[in-house]
Amino acid sequence: MFDVVIVQEDTEALCLRISLAQLEILCKQLYETTDTTTRLQAEKALVEFTNSPDCLSKCQLLLESGSSSYSQLLAATCLSKLVSRTSNPLPLEQRIDIRNYVLNYLATRPKLAAFVTQALIQLYARITKLGWFDCQKEDYVFRNVIVDVTRFLQDSVEHCIIGVTILSQLTNEINQADSTHPLTKHRKIASSFRDSSLFDIFTLSCNLLKQASGKNLNLNDESQHGLLMQLLKLAHNCLNFDFIGTSTDESSDDLCTVQIPTSWRSGFVVSSPNSICSESLSDPNNYHEFCRLLARLKSNYQLGELVKVENYPEVIRLIANFTVTSLQHWEFAPNSVHYLLSLWQRLAASVPYVKATEPHMLETYTPEVTKAYITSRLESVHIILRDGLEDPLDDAGLVQQQLDQLSTIGRCEYEKTCALLVQLFDQSAQSYQELLQSTNSSTMDIAVQEGRLTWLVYIIGAVIGGRVSFASTDEQDAMDGELVCRVLQLMNLTDSRLAQAGNEKLELAMLSFFEQFRKIYIGDQVQKSSKSEHFSFLGVNNQANLSDMRCRTTFYTALGRLLMVDLGEDEDQFEQFMLPLTAAFEAIAQMFSTNTFNEQEAKRTLVGLVRDLRGIAFAFNAKTSFMMLFDWMAIELWYHVPACTTPVLKLMAELVHNRSQRLQFDVSSPNGILLFRETSKMITTYGNRILTLGEVPKDQVYALKLKGISICFSMLKAVLSGNYVNFGVFRLYGDDALDNALQTFIKLLLSIPHSDLLDYPKLSQSYYSLLEVLTQDHMNFIASLEPHVVMYILSSISEGLTALDTMVCTGCCSSLDHIVTYLFKQLSRSTKKRAAPMAQESDRFLHIMQQHPEMIQQMLSTVLNIIIFEDCRNQWSMSRPLLGLILLNEKYFADLRNSIVNSQPPEKQQAMHLCFENLMEGIERNLLTKNRDRLPVSRGFIVDLAFFGSGAYRM
Q: Which of 681, 683, 679 is nearest to 671 (CA)?
A: 679
| pLDDT number for residue 599 | 61
- Residue 441 has what DSSP assignment? -
Q: Which of 895, 902, 885 is nearest to 819 (CA)?
A: 885
Within 10 angstroms of residue 694's Cβ, the number of other Cβ atoms is 5
**CA angle, 900 as apex, 899 and 905 as ends, to 5°?**
110
| pLDDT tens column, 873-907 | 677 777 788 888 888 888 888 888 888 888 777 87
Cβ neighbors of 18 (< 8 A, separation 6 or more) are: 26, 45, 49, 52, 58
Instruction: Tell me how far apart the alpha carbons of residues 716 and 725 are, in angstroms, rounded to a whole number.
Output: 12
Instruction: Tell me how far apart the alpha carbons of residues 361 and 771 are, in angstroms, rounded to a whole number.
Output: 42
Please check whether residue 896 lies inside any domain of the structure.
yes
Domain boundary (609, 634, 659) is at: 634
What are the angstrom distances between the C-alpha of 482 and each of 369, 425, 519, 729?
A: 22, 11, 18, 53
Instruction: Tell me how far apart the alpha carbons of residues 786 and 784 are, in angstroms, rounded to a whole number.
Output: 7
**Does 458 lie in the same domain as 398?**
yes
Instruction: Tell me how far apart the alpha carbons of residues 128 and 122 are, in angstroms, rounded to a whole number.
Output: 10
What are the angstrom distances between the C-alpha of 118 and each of 164, 200, 234, 704?
A: 12, 23, 15, 43
**Does 384 lie in the same domain as 493?**
yes
**Does 430 lie in the same domain as 507?**
yes
Q: Say if residues 546 and 553 touch (Cβ distance below 8 Å).
A: yes
**DSSP secondary structure string for all residues of 212-260:** HHHTT--TTSHHHHHHHHHHHHHHHHHHTS-TTS----GGG-TT-----
| pLDDT number for residue 373 | 94
**Does 397 lie in the same domain as 502?**
yes
Q: Which of 124, 74, 73, 116 is nearest to 99 (CA)?
A: 124
What are the angstrom distances between the C-alpha of 157 and each of 120, 228, 625, 898?
A: 19, 10, 79, 43
Instruction: Tell me how far apart the alpha carbons of residues 793 and 797 are, in angstroms, rounded to a whole number.
Output: 6
Q: Say if residues 486 and 425 touch (Cβ distance below 8 Å).
A: yes
Per the rule left: phi > 0, alpha: psi between -120 and 50, beta: everything else, 282 is alpha
Instruction: Tell me how far apart the alpha carbons of residues 402 and 344 are, in angstroms, rounded to a whole number.
Output: 11
**Amino acid of residue 506:** L
pTM value > 0.75:
no
Domain boundary (585, 611, 634) is at: 634
Instruction: Tell me how far apart the alpha carbons of residues 396 and 408 are, in angstroms, rounded to a whole number.
Output: 19
Domain assignment of residue 863, given as a range: 859-954
Please check whether residue 500 lies inside any domain of the structure.
yes
| pLDDT number for residue 825 | 86
Please check whether residue 921 lies inside any domain of the structure.
yes
Cβ neighbors of 488 (< 8 A, separation 6 or more) are: 538, 539, 540
| pLDDT tens column, 638-650 | 444 566 677 778 8
CA 806 to chain centre: 12
Q: Which residues pair with 140 in a beta bridge?
A: 135
| pLDDT number for residue 112 | 86
Instruction: Tell me how far apart the alpha carbons of residues 464 and 476 are, in angstroms, rounded to a whole number.
Output: 10
**Does 552 lie in the same domain as 441?**
no
Please check whether residue 489 lies inside any domain of the structure.
yes
Instruction: Tell me how far apart the alpha carbons of residues 838 and 921 are, in angstroms, rounded to a whole number.
Output: 32
**CA angle, 180 as apex, 174 and 185 as ends, to 5°?**
50
**Amino acid of residue 493:** L
| pLDDT number for residue 625 | 52
Within 10 angstroms of residue 696's Cβ, the number of other Cβ atoms is 14
**Does 593 lie in the same domain as 510?**
no
Instruction: Tell me how far apart the alpha carbons of residues 436 and 442 are, in angstroms, rounded to a whole number.
Output: 10
Please check whether residue 579 lies inside any domain of the structure.
yes
Q: Furthest-apart CA pair in the chain: how many Å? A: 111
**Does 512 lie in the same domain as 376?**
yes
**Amino acid of residue 608:** G
**Does 374 lie in the same domain as 504?**
yes
**Amino acid of residue 558:** A
Cβ neighbors of 249 (< 8 A, separation 6 or more) are: 795, 798, 799, 858
**Does 496 lie in the same domain as 616?**
no
What are the angstrom distances between the C-alpha of 356 and each of 20, 307, 349, 471, 943?
A: 75, 8, 15, 19, 19
Please check whether residue 490 lies inside any domain of the structure.
yes
Q: Which residues pair with 135 in a beta bridge?
A: 140
**Does 552 lie in the same domain as 427?**
no
Please check whether residue 576 lies inside any domain of the structure.
yes
Q: Say if residues 945 and 868 touch (Cβ distance below 8 Å).
A: yes
Buried b (16+ CB within 10 A) or exposed e, 601-634: ebebbbbbbbbbbbbbbbbbeeeebbbbbbeeee
Instruction: Tell me how far apart the alpha carbons of residues 616 and 610 are, in angstroms, rounded to a whole number.
Output: 10
**Does 578 lie in the same domain as 482?**
no
Instruction: Tell me how far apart the alpha carbons of residues 151 and 936 are, in angstroms, rounded to a whole number.
Output: 55
**Does 397 lie in the same domain as 446?**
yes
- What's the structural domain count of the chain? 3
Please check whether residue 356 lies inside any domain of the structure.
no
Indicate the length of the chain as a whole number: 955
Q: Say if residues 634 and 610 touch (Cβ distance below 8 Å).
A: no
Q: Is 933 helix (H, G, I), strand (E, B) or coil?
A: coil
Positions of the chain with pLDDT under 50:
1-17, 248-255, 269-278, 523-577, 579-580, 582-583, 586, 628, 630-640, 833-834, 938-940, 942-943, 946, 949-955
Q: Say if residues 835 and 795 touch (Cβ distance below 8 Å).
A: no
**CA angle, 887 as apex, 881 and 889 as ends, to 5°?**
100
Q: Say if residues 618 and 561 touch (Cβ distance below 8 Å).
A: no
What are the angstrom distances between the C-alpha of 498 and each of 260, 490, 491, 839?
A: 60, 13, 10, 60
Instruction: Tell me how far apart the alpha carbons of residues 145 and 171 are, in angstroms, rounded to a whole number.
Output: 11
Domain boundary (575, 602, 634) is at: 634
Instruction: Tell me how far apart the alpha carbons of residues 52 and 76 are, in angstroms, rounded to a whole number.
Output: 16
CA 813 to chain centre: 15
